[in-house]
Structure 1
Amino acid sequence: MRTSFRAATAVVAALAVLGPVGYFWYDSLVPGTYDMAAMGYPDNGGGSPVEHDHTVGMSVADLKGPSGTPDVAVTLTARKDGARYTLNGATPGPEIRAEQGQLIQVTLVNESVPDGVTLHWHGVDVPNGEDGVAGITQDAVLRGQSFVYRFVAKDAGTYWYHSHQVSHEQVKNGLFGALVITPRGQRIPDQVALVHTYDGKRTINGKPGIADLSATTLRVINTDAGPIRIWVSGTAFRVTAIDGHDVNQPDQVTDRAVPVTAGGRVDLRLSTPGRVDVGGGAALAAAGTQPVALPRDTIDFLSYGKSGPLGFDPGKANRAFRYDIGRRFGFLDGKPGMWWTVNGHLFPDVPMFMVKTGDIVRMTLHNGSGEVHPMHLHGHHVVVLSRNGVAATGSPWWTDSLDVGDGDSYEIAFVADNPGIWADHCHNLEHVPEGLVVHLAYAGVRSSFQVGGPAGNTPE
């Protein structure tokens, strides 16, 4: 009798422990094929309810660039050579240049990338159907297939492009390149510095060590997974643009480092030729310049430059969202571990931020996860209003790639003026398959594509 009682007690105790574990395991499972727009739960941000019927409305496939003869036409052929990926046989891929207002056409050909490939135009507010996110805005381009992207170079600035199919692997190993849009009619000499780490070695435009500085206007692009600090020696300089947006009346500075978020860009104007270090022994240098140590002080974009108009009033926002990043133990697609959370929820039970075209949106980004996260919203630029309760006082800080440090809170704002279904994720791309991604969805827009499926769409 005692043995039976003990056995029964053990079974009950095991069920009491394993029952909830089994429930959470089962609840975490993600289907092999699913509509990303149907995942999670709608968050209306305190505004009027937005219809969340993902089966009706305009398809993202219809939100395309214009027809007509392109001003700039490029073909990019993607290949996989061992662990390295290339575009037209090189990494970084070719630098694409256009003038503001020109129509760009890029034909992506997948010659030998087995998992498929796409191209995302990082920082360029393209129509949603041109955004290049596998399973959301298109199917991955499989071997032997091609895909044509078309969009107008609306905003001058420094941008880049990269794969958004198995992106944590493909970007790290070479599928990316620079995109520069120059102001109409301007011919100012400049130099691009794509900063990327290959096999633990930091490079500029794919080459380690010291390269020649050929211009005093420099476009720095951080394609790595984490933030970097760059510094100028031998001359004074100004930060003239951040993430493709001009800084209003930038201050001339010396002996201060410049932060560059993962995925972010800064434009520098040097007073005279000098030296620009990006860390890891990589630099651009004019003849005769000598290296100096990384400065102790760093420019704070919250107060850099002079204030100016935003073009809209954040005080009239009709939606307010919270994007609270945490980390906890749980199950993600049946796998136990420490996973990133959004507003306390594990993927796929995360918010879908719902908006209507024309909405003014405020969002609070808070990070309590223990690590820095470079947050990137597709299809929009946002303006930083405050950090940790301290209001921005410098030039309007427009950004599409924002480092949110552990313990920090940022308040940002933007106008919902680009209909679609847009990824809003960490650009430490290893964090995305670990659950740090949500989406911004417009009323009346649905996705025509699914994650998984015949194309094996894997946007992370």
Structure 2
Amino acid sequence: MGSNGTAGDYLPPLDIGESESLAFFEFTATVPGTYWYHSHQKSAEQVDKGLYGTLIVEPKNEEKVDRDYTLVLDEWMSDPDAESHMDMNMSGMDHSNMNNGNSSDNQQMDMSSMGHDMNMYDIFTINGKSGSAVQPLKVKKGEKVRLRLVNAGYMAHKLHLHGHEFKIVATDGQPLKDPQPIKDELLNIAPGERYDIEFIANNPGEWLLECHGDMEGTDGMKVKIQYEDQTNNTDKENAKENLPVVDMTTYGKYEVGQFTLDQKYDVEYTMDLGTAMGKDGMVYTINGKTYPDTAPIHVKTGDFVKVKIVNNSPMDVHPMHLHGHFFQVLSKNGKPVTGSPLIKDSLNVNPGEEYVVAFKADNPGNWMFHCHDLHHASAGMVTEVKYTDYKSDYTPDPNDTTNKGE
């Protein structure tokens, strides 16, 4: 792993061959927060089929909540033919890992008219269940409740907590400064993102946390919040209600973070996200190139790095994820962040949007910076943060074929 012991999604790939049944590795969990881990071997396919889990790193000294629930959001295809079509179209891709000890998601393209259709995903789940099958969240009046929301799917989901004010206390595992209570606003959670919210159970009855949207599976992504020994105030779902979406760039109390827009940076990089037609179908590009031809971000240990991310795709949303580091979001569409310092490792970039982010190169290695819609990563939207003063001690086995794809 990287030198600073970051946790969760930042671990190097763990490869278990056909002749092996078990492998062990260890790391020090030094960064508290809500994380998740998932396959980086044929990840567009394997993560889609559920090969992932959550990793909660609890702080040593923090006020405890009374209830702490982790809720994983995902979406699935009910039509076996649709899934077979997806698998068939992905079968020509080589998702081999890179031989540098730190990188992952090295996914060469053979799109073979991939063109994945999100409408094939018609079952939306929370912790692998949908609709009435989702286990209710039990609370008692007066309790402080934390919900850890993890999006393991390939679509953003807008969640509405009924009947209560709540605070967004952390994003991607990183705390927010003085979060204010909000009510009847939607929290938009993009692929790869995590949000921790807290509320006080002060409105006895049965309430919902539900997804808003128009897709077929939307009404399945809901969970009941049930007060023990209380039966009044039975909630009604209303996924069509027109509610505002929380603007994270203005949320929380402003203070100067580690980085500012006008300070001096050692490395500056512009990441132009786009689409193009390749010889085998649609590809997703960074600065007009697909991985491995994308230009890496070259850094050395201690560098301050500023990255401008611009989504010039006409229709596609790109949740961009950086391995091994947290970055500070400095501006959106030219306007500086006016809320809490916003520290993240995944950032949802809608068509036409522009963000400026900054990070310190403090974790030597070679790290992926990619779209967490893994179909887009598979189709080329990947680059690397490469440390020029780092040399991997990993030597690939020339006889190992486990990472050669199919």
Cα separation, 2, equivalents of 1:170 and 1:65 = 28
1:284 aligns with 2:229: no
Q: How does 1:37-436 map to 2 (within 5 A)?
A: 121-122=8-9, 126=10, 130-132=11-13, 140-145=15-20, 146-186=22-62, 187-188=64-65, 189-199=67-77, 200-210=122-132, 211-215=135-139, 216-272=145-201, 274-279=207-212, 280-281=218-219, 282-287=221-226, 288-293=234-239, 294-312=241-259, 315-331=263-279, 336-370=280-314, 371-436=316-381
CA 1:271–1:290: 2 relative to 1, 3 Å: farther
**Higher radius of gyration, 1 or 2:** 1
Deviations 1:168-217 (A, max 9, x none): 01101010111111121444231011111232311111111143123521
Q: Secondary structure at the match of 2:27?
A: strand
Cα separation, 2, equivalents of 1:397 and 1:380 = 14
Cα separation, 1, equivalents of 2:398 and 2:353 = 35
Cα separation, 2, equivalents of 1:432 and 1:236 = 37
Give the number of aligned pairs.
331
Q: TM-score, normalised by structure 2?
A: 0.76
Cα separation, 2, equivalents of 1:348 and 1:421 = 14
Deviations 1:275-321 (A, max 9, x none): 21135222222233332334421000010111124235551211100
Which amino acid in the other structure matches residue 214 of structure 1? K
CA 1:459–1:384: 2 relative to 1, 3 Å: farther
CA deviation after TM superposition for structure 1 residue 166, in Å: 0.6
Which amino acid in the other structure matches residue 445 of structure 1? Y
Tell me, which stretches of 5 or more residues in structure 2 are unaligned? Answer: 78-121, 140-144, 213-217, 227-233
CA deviation after TM superposition for structure 1 residue 446, in Å: 3.5
CA 1:306–1:449: 2 relative to 1, 3 Å: farther
Contact 1:231 1:295 in 2 (8 A): no
1:35 match = none
More strand by share: 1
Q: Secondary structure at the match of 1:310?
A: coil
Which amino acid in the other structure matches residue 457 of structure 1? N
Q: Secondary structure at the match of 1:446?
A: coil
Q: Secondary structure at the match of 1:430?
A: helix
CA 1:452–1:229: 2 relative to 1, 3 Å: farther
Q: Secondary structure at the match of 2:341?
A: coil
Cα separation, 2, equivalents of 1:204 and 1:291 = 16
**Two-structure CA RMSD over aligned residues (Å):** 2.5
Contact 1:141 1:455 in 2 (8 A): no
Cα separation, 1, equivalents of 2:245 and 2:352 = 19
Q: Percent identity?
A: 33
Which amino acid in the other structure matches residue 367 of structure 1? N
Which amino acid in the other structure matches residue 161 of structure 1? Y
Cα separation, 2, equivalents of 1:227 and 1:389 = 23
Cα separation, 2, equivalents of 1:323 and 1:409 = 10
Which is worse superposed, 215-224 or 163-172?
215-224
Q: TM-score, normalised by structure 1?
A: 0.67
Cα separation, 1, equivalents of 2:378 and 2:161 = 36
| Counterpart among 384, 387, 390 of residue 445 in structure 1 | 390
CA deviation after TM superposition for structure 1 residue 326, in Å: 1.3
Deviations 1:39-96 (A, max 9, x none): xxxxxxxxxxxxxxxxxxxxx7xx5798xxxxxxxxxxxxxxxxxxxxxxxxxxxxxx
Which amino acid in the other structure matches residue 190 of structure 1? D
CA 1:208–1:330: 2 relative to 1, 3 Å: closer
